[in-house]
């Protein structure tokens, strides 16, 4: 802590002499308690380590949900110029893991009396859990279409509506994708996993809008108090994990060949424009398209579950997509650096884009409000909808937090928290949870995470995003 300078209530600066070899300083967005948690977790050291990478622009950034990760901290943001690098550790293994929010025209009173039956219907309809196969047969030919077409390819297979494409980052497709850069092992791991929830911190949650903070923005988003919504949190499954694994080996070889000195070999990287960097970006884009397509299929099964339960069409139930955001990604974006507009490779690992009104990346439906930002809580706590701000563009390359952020490892949580007791505690709060093993539920207990409300308040206080709505959990489906 003595090596950090607090420059405002929610902003801390790390000088380059924090660790000899840093090319740029670091910035941590946090209050006193959150920065102490980051120090205890050794995540601050990772902020410093990222600052060693060639071509890093301005500073190494950390969001308030920062915690220890592979190479980069989770909650880390860094941008690189044309003489910089791309690093798989700055994206993570679950490439394009993200969140989407589905609206309904139902109120809490419409859902609560039969909530248990609704969650059970979703549990029966939605494949979940480690290694579980989905209901969509996806051999290599189908995967190639999803790898290149993203959500549009999945919609063309009958899973969703064309109108869904209007409410996705970049229209639901990363155009840099090249299926030829994906290994045979990644194809094998992705086979028949499309439309599966997975395990770990992934979930599908029935929620109610408990509080509105910005009424005009909430109206533009189609949200109101008492409204039931559904949040879906999942990623690229085995595809993304394998693509990251494959290219980490390649990057490690690049570092050894070029003699680049790094404080952590998990920061393996390749120069932008090199064959190795281009190959990774093309394969990563395939995983992004798969992840967005996966959430699209999950939304289809969710809509189908509501239809069967309420005996009405999903259109009559108002089950429109509000938005879908990814929080593990690296992509080329235009930002201002040193007074000039320039193209940068922005890495967001456990961080969400937070673009303001009028930004070219914001879908037309939200051009006047700014980009919706969806922040999930942990099991049993609130989630939030935020909106992007102009300040984020100057502060954080248009970035904000992605969730609560862990304070306890999964293994420690399983040792110290009883999953069965947690299930009963949540039931007493009126929250129905359907999960696999109790030990897996314990991994995601509130005690294992930071206070998401505190994290969101820091982001608002620092100007990275603004609170629009607070969502309370009603029913939770986990792998």
Question: Which residues are tagged catalytic?
Answer: 402
Angle between helices 140-149 and 275-310 (to 10 degrees): 100
Within 10 angstroms of residue 135's Cβ, the number of other Cβ atoms is 14
Between CA 271 and CA 69, with CA 333 as vertex, the angle to 5 degrees is 65
Strand order in the sheet with 11-14: 4-8, 11-14, 26-29, 60-67, 74-80, 340-349, 328-337
Angle between helices 452-461 and 32-40 (to 10 degrees): 120
Distances (CA, A) of 388 to 94, 365, 385, 465: 24, 14, 10, 5
User: Under 8 Å CB-to-CB from 311, ≥6 apart: which residues?
Assistant: none
Contact 202, 291 (CB under 8 A): no
Contact 70, 37 (CB under 8 A): no
Within 10 angstroms of residue 339's Cβ, the number of other Cβ atoms is 6
Distance of CA 15 to the CA centre of its chain: 29
Contact 77, 49 (CB under 8 A): no
Beta 60-67 vs 26-29: how paired, if at all? parallel
Contact 172, 292 (CB under 8 A): yes
Secondary structure letter of residue 157 according to DSSP: T
Which tokens go with 289?
């398209």
Which residues pair with residue 434 across a beta bridge? 477
Phi, psi of 362 (to 5 degrees): -80, 130
Contact 69, 349 (CB under 8 A): yes
Phi, psi of 359 (to 5 degrees): -70, 140
Within 10 angstroms of residue 256's Cβ, the number of other Cβ atoms is 11
- Rounded distance between C-alpha atoms, residue 446 and residue 408, angstroms: 10
């Amino acid at each position: 802590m003595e090596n950090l300078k607090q420059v405002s209530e929610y902003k801390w600066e790390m000088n380059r002499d924090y660790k000899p070899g840093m090319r740029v300083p670091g910035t941590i967005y946090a209050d006193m308690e959150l920065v102490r948690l980051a120090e205890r977790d050794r995540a601050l050291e990772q902020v410093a380590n990222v600052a060693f990478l060639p071509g890093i622009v301005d500073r190494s950034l950390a969001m308030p949900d920062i915690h220890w990760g592979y190479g980069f901290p989770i909650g880390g943001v860094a941008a690189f110029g044309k003489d910089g690098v791309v690093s798989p550790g700055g994206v993570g293994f679950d490439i394009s893991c993200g969140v989407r929010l589905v609206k309904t025209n139902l109120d809490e009173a419409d859902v609560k009396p039969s909530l248990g039956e609704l969650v059970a219907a979703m549990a029966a309809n939605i494949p979940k859990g480690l290694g579980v196969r989905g209901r969509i047969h996806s051999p290599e030919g189908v995967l190639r279409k999803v790898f290149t077409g993203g959500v549009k390819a999945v919609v063309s297979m009958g899973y969703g509506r064309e109108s869904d494409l209007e409410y996705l980052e970049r229209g639901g497709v990363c155009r840099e994708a090249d299926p030829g850069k994906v290994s045979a092992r990644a194809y094998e791991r992705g086979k028949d996993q499309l439309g599966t929830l997975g395990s770990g911190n992934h979930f599908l949650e029935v929620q109610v809008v408990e509080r509105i903070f910005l009424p005009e923005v909430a109206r533009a988003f189609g949200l109101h108090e008492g409204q039931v919504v559904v949040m879906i949190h999942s990623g690229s499954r085995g595809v993304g994990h394998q693509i990251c694994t494959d290219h980490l080996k390649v990057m490690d070889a690049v570092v050894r060949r070029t003699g680049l000195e790094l404080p952590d070999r998990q920061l393996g990287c390749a120069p932008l424009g090199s064959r190795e960097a281009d190959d990774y970006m093309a394969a990563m884009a395939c995983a992004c398209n798969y992840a967005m397509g996966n959430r699209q299929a999950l939304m289809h099964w969710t809509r189908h579950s509501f239809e069967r339960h309420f005996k009405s069409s999903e259109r009559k139930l108002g089950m429109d997509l509000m938005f879908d955001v990814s929080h593990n990604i690296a992509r080329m974006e235009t930002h201002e650096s040193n007074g000039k507009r320039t193209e940068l490779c922005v890495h967001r690992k456990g961080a969400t884009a937070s673009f303001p009104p009028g930004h070219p990346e914001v879908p037309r439906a939200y051009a006047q409000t700014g980009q919706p930002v969806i922040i999930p809580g942990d099991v049993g706590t609130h989630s939030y909808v935020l909106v992007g701000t102009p300040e984020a563009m100057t502060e954080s390359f248009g970035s904000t937090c992605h969730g609560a952020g862990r304070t306890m490892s999964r293994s420690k949580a399983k040792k110290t928290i009883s999953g069965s007791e947690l299930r009963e505690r949540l039931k007493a709060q009126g929250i129905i949870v359907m999960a696999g093993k109790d030990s897996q539920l314990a991994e995601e207990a509130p005690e294992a995470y930071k206070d998401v409300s505190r994290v969101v308040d820091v982001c608002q206080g620092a100007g990275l995003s603004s609170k629009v709505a607070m969502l309370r959990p009603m029913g939770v489906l986990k792998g």
